[in-house]
Structure 1
Amino acid sequence: MTRPPLAVVAGTGFYDLDALQDPREETVTTRFGDARVVHGAWHGLPVVFLTRHGSGHSVPPHLVNYRANIRALADLGVRDVLAVNVTGSIDPELAPGDLLCLDDFVDFTKQRPLTFFDGSTREGVVHTDVSAAYDPDLRREVLAAAATAGEPIRDGGVYAAFEGPRFETAAEIRLARLAGGDVAGMTGVPEVTLAAEADLRYAAISLVVNPATGVGDATEPITMAEIEAVLARSSTAVLAILDALVAARAAAPDPAPDPAPEEEA
């Protein structure tokens, strides 16, 4: 039985997935636009890699075509999506290089298309439940893989999504903290909610790369040089977790096929 491809979606600092064997690029056309993906094999399993910001980080977070990206993954037969989000810490106990396996979000974005169901499709208006937008079973796989890889990761965390591309103000971060936010980022929403609408299981690893504005003793402006320095030394931990997860799946027996429907008498 051919397993459905696993999707890996990543952003800043993750523009290639060197672990993929026999990589092949494809542009997938959807009614929401085109999405560029890379197909390959990882531990013998089919994987689809998508980098949100395009080649050379050419697409800013507020202009990422999230609907085309998620629709393309669903059209390719993906069932599970592993996302990587580079974030700033709202929780002062989180330091650059720390990892979280997210379990909730709060949305402060303002102008993004947020749904596939805008009233123009045959489904009409649909209200999607997102109480478990970060799939519990897939989250458990991430946590188990982190343990196997020996990489510390916090079980749970609230992602506060901001519009970008500017960084947040100190007042905005205080507001996000009051709302329960642990980390701040610019790409996690609507990606997670669109995955729920498309019936895809979704889990996300958050890599902290800087204190958010006004957090802790940080007084210097946030710079991309600071972020890239943390990415250079910490991205290997994320990749090790992904590798352990894919390896565990490769070692597991193939899932049983769905039973054939009974014929009517």
Structure 2
Amino acid sequence: MATSPATPDTQQSTPSATVGVFGGSGFYSFLTGDVREVKIDTPYGPPSDAVTLAGIGGKTVAFLPRHGRNHTIPPHKINYRANLWAMKSLGVTDIIGPNACGSLQPHVKPGDFVICDQFVDRTTGRADTFYDGPIVTHVSAAEPYCPLLRKHAIESCRAEGITVHERGTVVVINGPRFSTRSESLWFGSQGWEVINMTQYPEMYLARELEMSYVNISLITDFDAGLIGEDHPPVTNDEVLAVFTANLDNLRNVLRRMVETLPDTSPSPARSVLSVSRFEKGGLPLNHVF
């Protein structure tokens, strides 16, 4: 395996796409018309599944279920590097990453959408960089989500009449277990809004490959710290029921985003590597992309 990535080959016969979507198997119905599947090999092993390509609003969208099409891959076992590499190899420049999330604040209610602008990483043991040497690379995560895609997502949610929170910090836990009440109370006491298991390193790896990324958090439940001790914790069935009830809203937002997304955008993600590398021999390292 390469210790620092070369450019994924987007010039071969593999079909291309400009927009990538990570999600669950419920999004397959979001793709209509000329739908194709592409199996992609990466230096980091296979991605979670074949990538499905479809045309939406004059653009080609690449869809990849991060947990596999039958939801067989738990959050801590997802091959995030392979998933992001597959998207890059198709020519994807903009990624939309919706998630089911729990709420850490009373004003963020089930059924609401949160367009996160920050994350807190509480995961362990995940392969979270493409740059293991010899090129030392430190990509800034100060503003981890693309501001242009975030603005576009907020406007799309409003146009669909959805309650949307324009900012939020997502706490990413390792899983597969849910938080204890004490952990949940601590997260909430910091002012953080939502909790999830897959946002990191997915969004950061997209940034390392200079792809713009936006998260749409669909709130399915109040986390354990917001539920009194006399109430049982949320179940998977309850989470799934809320998510399913709001799936049409999420699909409508995604469709609107794709259809109205500009063909080109001056996203700051496009050039992060130019200021992220140490010099070698007194000369700037060449841009690998």
TM over 0.5: yes
Shift of 1:174: 2.1
Distance 2:30 2:256 in 1: 15
Distance 1:177 1:202 in 2: 25
The answer (yes or no) to whether the contact 1:15–1:55 under 8 Å persists in 2 is no
Distance 1:239 1:165 in 2: 26
1:118 matched residue in structure 2: 132
1:147 matched residue in structure 2: 158
User: Which has the higher mean CA deviation after the structures are superposed, 56-65 or 179-188?
Assistant: 179-188
Distance 1:177 1:236 in 2: 29
1:104 to 90, 93, 118: 118
**What code does the residue aligned with 1:125 have?**
V
Counterpart secondary structure, 1:7 = strand
1:161 matched to 2:175: no
Matching of residues 212-251 of structure 1 within 5 Å? 212-217=223-228, 219-249=231-261
1:88 matched to 2:99: no
**What code does the residue aligned with 1:96 have?**
P
Matching of residues 146-225 of structure 1 within 5 Å? 146-217=157-228, 219-225=231-237
Unaligned runs of 5+ residues in structure 2 are 1-15, 266-289
Identity over the aligned pairs, expressed in percent? Answer: 33
Unaligned runs of 5+ residues in structure 1 are 257-265
Shift of 1:241: 0.9
The answer (yes or no) to whether the contact 2:80–2:201 under 8 Å persists in 1 is yes
Equivalenced residues, count? 247
Deviation per CA, 1:93-132, whole angstroms, max 9, x where unpaired?
222111101100000001111111122xx5x221110122
The answer (yes or no) to whether the contact 1:101–1:156 under 8 Å persists in 2 is yes
**Over the residues paired in the alignment, what is the CA RMSD in angstroms?**
1.8
1:33 matched residue in structure 2: 45
Distance 1:52 1:188 in 2: 11
Deviation per CA, 1:156-215, whole angstroms, max 9, x where unpaired?
110000000111111111232234321111000000111111101000100011111121
Counterpart secondary structure, 2:187 = helix
Counterpart secondary structure, 2:217 = strand
Shift of 1:15: 4.8
Shift of 1:221: 2.3
Larger strand percent = 1
Q: What's the TM-score once normalised by structure 1's chain length? A: 0.88
The answer (yes or no) to whether the contact 1:151–1:241 under 8 Å persists in 2 is no
**What code does the residue aligned with 2:185 have?**
R
Distance 1:141 1:214 in 2: 32
The answer (yes or no) to whether the contact 1:15–1:56 under 8 Å persists in 2 is no
1:71 matched to 2:85: yes
User: Which has the higher mean CA deviation after the structures are superposed, 230-239 or 215-224?
Assistant: 215-224
Deviation per CA, 1:58-93, whole angstroms, max 9, x where unpaired?
100000000000111111100000010111111122
Distance 1:51 1:7 in 2: 11
Q: 1:255 to 1:222 in 2, by over 3 A?
A: closer
Distance 2:210 2:106 in 1: 35
Shift of 1:227: 0.8
